[in-house]
Amino acid sequence: MTDAPARPDPILRTPRKHYVLRLNFTDTDHGQPRRRFAGADAITVPDRETSAYQNTVCRAWPLALCVLLAACAGPRMEPPSHFGSPTPLTCVPYARAVSGIQLDGNAWEWWDEAAGLYPRSSTPLPGAVLVFAPRGTMTDGHLAVVTQIENRREIMVTQSNWLPHRIEHDQPILDVSPGNNWTEVRVWYEPAHAMGRTLYPAYGFILPR
Protein backbone atom coordinates (compact mmCIF):
# COMPACT_ATOMS: atom_id res chain seq x y z
CA MET A 1 0.00 0.00 0.00
CA THR A 2 1.37 3.34 -0.99
CA ASP A 3 1.17 6.42 1.14
CA ALA A 4 -1.36 9.03 0.11
CA PRO A 5 0.25 12.12 -1.37
CA ALA A 6 0.77 14.92 1.08
CA ARG A 7 -1.96 17.57 1.02
CA PRO A 8 -0.54 20.70 -0.49
CA ASP A 9 -0.40 23.82 1.64
CA PRO A 10 -3.29 26.04 0.40
CA ILE A 11 -1.32 29.17 1.15
CA LEU A 12 1.66 28.08 -0.90
CA ARG A 13 -0.54 26.95 -3.80
CA THR A 14 -2.51 30.14 -3.89
CA PRO A 15 -1.11 32.44 -6.57
CA ARG A 16 0.15 35.74 -5.28
CA LYS A 17 -1.20 39.01 -6.55
CA HIS A 18 0.55 42.35 -6.66
CA TYR A 19 -1.11 45.38 -5.15
CA VAL A 20 0.47 48.76 -5.65
CA LEU A 21 -0.31 51.63 -3.32
CA ARG A 22 0.04 54.89 -5.21
CA LEU A 23 -0.62 58.11 -3.37
CA ASN A 24 0.03 61.52 -4.85
CA PHE A 25 -1.21 64.46 -2.84
CA THR A 26 -0.66 68.15 -3.34
CA ASP A 27 -1.34 70.90 -0.87
CA THR A 28 -1.03 74.65 -0.94
CA ASP A 29 1.46 76.79 0.92
CA HIS A 30 0.02 80.33 0.94
CA GLY A 31 -1.49 79.86 -2.49
CA GLN A 32 1.50 78.05 -4.02
CA PRO A 33 1.26 74.31 -4.89
CA ARG A 34 3.37 72.10 -2.67
CA ARG A 35 3.91 68.34 -3.04
CA ARG A 36 3.27 66.62 0.26
CA PHE A 37 3.60 62.89 -0.66
CA ALA A 38 4.23 61.18 -3.96
CA GLY A 39 4.15 57.47 -4.66
CA ALA A 40 4.84 54.36 -2.66
CA ASP A 41 6.68 51.10 -3.28
CA ALA A 42 4.73 48.17 -4.65
CA ILE A 43 3.76 45.56 -2.08
CA THR A 44 3.09 41.90 -2.82
CA VAL A 45 0.42 40.09 -0.82
CA PRO A 46 -1.16 36.65 -1.16
CA ASP A 47 -4.56 36.15 -2.73
CA ARG A 48 -7.44 37.47 -0.64
CA GLU A 49 -8.70 33.93 0.05
CA THR A 50 -5.81 33.22 2.42
CA SER A 51 -5.38 34.20 6.03
CA ALA A 52 -2.00 35.67 5.13
CA TYR A 53 -3.79 38.22 2.94
CA GLN A 54 -5.98 39.26 5.82
CA ASN A 55 -2.96 39.72 8.08
CA THR A 56 -1.16 41.77 5.44
CA VAL A 57 -4.15 44.04 4.85
CA CYS A 58 -4.64 44.55 8.58
CA ARG A 59 -1.03 45.67 8.84
CA ALA A 60 -1.09 47.84 5.71
CA TRP A 61 -4.20 49.91 6.41
CA PRO A 62 -2.85 51.72 9.52
CA LEU A 63 0.21 52.74 7.49
CA ALA A 64 -1.97 54.00 4.64
CA LEU A 65 -4.15 55.92 7.11
CA CYS A 66 -1.08 57.60 8.62
CA VAL A 67 0.06 58.64 5.15
CA LEU A 68 -3.36 60.11 4.37
CA LEU A 69 -3.47 62.07 7.63
CA ALA A 70 0.05 63.39 7.12
CA ALA A 71 -0.81 64.52 3.59
CA CYS A 72 -3.90 66.38 4.78
CA ALA A 73 -2.22 68.12 7.71
CA GLY A 74 -1.97 71.91 7.57
CA PRO A 75 1.08 74.04 8.33
CA ARG A 76 2.48 73.60 11.81
CA MET A 77 2.16 76.58 14.15
CA GLU A 78 5.48 77.51 15.72
CA PRO A 79 5.93 79.13 19.16
CA PRO A 80 6.15 82.95 19.05
CA SER A 81 9.42 82.77 20.99
CA HIS A 82 11.09 81.36 17.86
CA PHE A 83 10.78 84.71 16.08
CA GLY A 84 12.20 88.18 16.45
CA SER A 85 14.37 89.14 19.38
CA PRO A 86 13.49 89.23 23.09
CA THR A 87 12.68 92.57 24.68
CA PRO A 88 11.14 94.00 27.85
CA LEU A 89 9.72 96.92 25.84
CA THR A 90 6.09 97.31 24.92
CA CYS A 91 5.11 98.87 21.59
CA VAL A 92 5.00 102.45 22.99
CA PRO A 93 8.61 102.97 24.18
CA TYR A 94 9.87 101.01 21.19
CA ALA A 95 7.96 103.16 18.68
CA ARG A 96 9.14 106.29 20.50
CA ALA A 97 12.78 105.19 20.31
CA VAL A 98 12.67 104.10 16.65
CA SER A 99 10.58 106.95 15.22
CA GLY A 100 11.78 109.82 17.41
CA ILE A 101 8.16 110.85 17.99
CA GLN A 102 8.01 111.95 21.61
CA LEU A 103 4.49 111.23 22.82
CA ASP A 104 3.19 109.60 25.99
CA GLY A 105 0.17 107.59 27.02
CA ASN A 106 -1.22 104.31 25.79
CA ALA A 107 -0.80 103.42 22.13
CA TRP A 108 -4.30 104.42 21.05
CA GLU A 109 -3.98 107.78 22.86
CA TRP A 110 -1.12 108.84 20.61
CA TRP A 111 -3.51 109.79 17.81
CA ASP A 112 -5.25 112.56 19.75
CA GLU A 113 -2.09 113.55 21.60
CA ALA A 114 -0.30 114.16 18.28
CA ALA A 115 -2.80 116.89 17.28
CA GLY A 116 -0.94 120.18 16.90
CA LEU A 117 2.40 118.53 17.66
CA TYR A 118 3.01 116.11 14.79
CA PRO A 119 1.48 115.80 11.30
CA ARG A 120 -1.15 113.07 10.96
CA SER A 121 -1.99 111.36 7.69
CA SER A 122 -3.88 108.51 6.06
CA THR A 123 -0.89 107.91 3.77
CA PRO A 124 2.09 105.92 5.06
CA LEU A 125 5.66 107.19 4.93
CA PRO A 126 8.87 105.55 6.15
CA GLY A 127 9.42 106.47 9.79
CA ALA A 128 5.71 107.16 10.42
CA VAL A 129 3.89 105.41 13.24
CA LEU A 130 0.70 103.49 12.47
CA VAL A 131 -1.70 103.87 15.40
CA PHE A 132 -4.08 100.97 16.07
CA ALA A 133 -7.37 101.58 17.82
CA PRO A 134 -8.43 99.35 20.72
CA ARG A 135 -10.05 96.08 19.71
CA GLY A 136 -11.23 93.24 21.93
CA THR A 137 -8.50 92.24 24.35
CA MET A 138 -6.10 94.75 22.73
CA THR A 139 -7.47 97.48 24.98
CA ASP A 140 -4.41 99.73 24.74
CA GLY A 141 -4.20 99.70 20.96
CA HIS A 142 -0.84 99.18 19.26
CA LEU A 143 1.94 101.11 17.51
CA ALA A 144 4.03 99.99 14.54
CA VAL A 145 6.75 101.98 12.78
CA VAL A 146 6.76 101.99 8.98
CA THR A 147 10.07 100.83 7.47
CA GLN A 148 9.12 100.42 3.81
CA ILE A 149 6.26 101.11 1.38
CA GLU A 150 5.50 98.10 -0.81
CA ASN A 151 2.48 99.55 -2.61
CA ARG A 152 -0.58 101.64 -1.78
CA ARG A 153 -2.08 98.73 0.16
CA GLU A 154 0.95 97.16 1.81
CA ILE A 155 3.71 98.36 4.11
CA MET A 156 6.51 96.78 6.11
CA VAL A 157 6.88 97.67 9.77
CA THR A 158 9.01 97.09 12.81
CA GLN A 159 7.14 96.61 16.07
CA SER A 160 7.43 95.39 19.61
CA ASN A 161 5.11 93.16 21.62
CA TRP A 162 2.81 92.12 18.76
CA LEU A 163 4.25 88.73 19.60
CA PRO A 164 4.59 88.83 23.39
CA HIS A 165 7.95 90.24 24.47
CA ARG A 166 9.42 90.11 20.96
CA ILE A 167 10.73 92.76 18.55
CA GLU A 168 10.00 92.00 14.88
CA HIS A 169 11.36 93.64 11.75
CA ASP A 170 10.01 93.85 8.19
CA GLN A 171 6.54 92.55 9.02
CA PRO A 172 3.85 93.11 6.35
CA ILE A 173 0.64 94.98 7.11
CA LEU A 174 -2.20 95.19 4.57
CA ASP A 175 -4.74 97.98 4.24
CA VAL A 176 -8.17 96.41 3.73
CA SER A 177 -10.26 99.54 4.30
CA PRO A 178 -12.79 100.29 1.54
CA GLY A 179 -11.40 103.79 1.01
CA ASN A 180 -7.72 102.81 1.10
CA ASN A 181 -7.26 105.15 4.09
CA TRP A 182 -5.63 102.61 6.44
CA THR A 183 -8.47 102.58 8.95
CA GLU A 184 -8.74 98.79 8.78
CA VAL A 185 -5.74 96.49 8.46
CA ARG A 186 -4.54 92.91 8.59
CA VAL A 187 -1.21 92.03 10.20
CA TRP A 188 1.28 89.29 9.31
CA TYR A 189 1.46 86.56 11.97
CA GLU A 190 4.92 85.04 11.87
CA PRO A 191 4.24 81.81 13.84
CA ALA A 192 1.77 80.77 11.14
CA HIS A 193 3.83 82.22 8.27
CA ALA A 194 0.64 83.84 7.02
CA MET A 195 -1.33 87.06 7.00
CA GLY A 196 -3.63 87.18 10.00
CA ARG A 197 -7.37 86.98 9.35
CA THR A 198 -8.39 89.47 12.04
CA LEU A 199 -9.35 92.96 10.87
CA TYR A 200 -7.88 95.61 13.16
CA PRO A 201 -9.17 99.21 13.28
CA ALA A 202 -6.55 101.95 12.97
CA TYR A 203 -6.56 105.75 13.12
CA GLY A 204 -3.81 106.46 10.64
CA PHE A 205 -0.17 107.56 10.64
CA ILE A 206 1.69 110.01 12.83
CA LEU A 207 4.56 111.52 10.84
CA PRO A 208 7.87 112.56 12.37
CA ARG A 209 8.72 116.25 12.08
Sort strands 24-29 and 32-38 into parallel, antiparallel or unpaired. antiparallel
CATH value at residue 168: 3.90.1720.10
Specify whether 99 is located in the same domain as 147.
Answer: yes
- Amino acid letter, residue 127: G
- pTM tops 0.85: no
**80-116 pLDDT tens trace:** 767 889 999 999 999 999 999 999 999 999 999 999 9
Reference 166, options 105, 60, 94; nearest CA is 94
Specify whether 163 is located in the same domain as 202.
Answer: yes
Residue 4 lies in a domain: no
Domain that holds residue 35: 10-72
**31-87 pLDDT tens trace:** 444 444 344 444 444 444 445 545 544 455 555 555 454 445 545 667 776 788 999
Higher pLDDT, 98 or 14: 98
Report the chain's C-alpha Rg in angstroms. 30
Specify whether 130 is located in the same domain as 33.
Answer: no
Residue 144 has pLDDT above 80, yes or no: yes
Residue 14 lies in a domain: yes
pLDDT (0 to 100) of residue 37:
38
Helix (H, G, I), strand (E, B) or coil at 119: coil
Specify whether 25 is located in the same domain as 61.
Answer: yes
Number of domains, the chain? 2
Residue 174 has pLDDT above 60, yes or no: yes
Specify whether 109 is located in the same domain as 58.
Answer: no
Helices in 73-196 by DSSP H: which ranges? 91-99, 110-113
pLDDT (0 to 100) of residue 53:
47
Single out the residue in 45, 72, 99 at which a domain terminates: 72
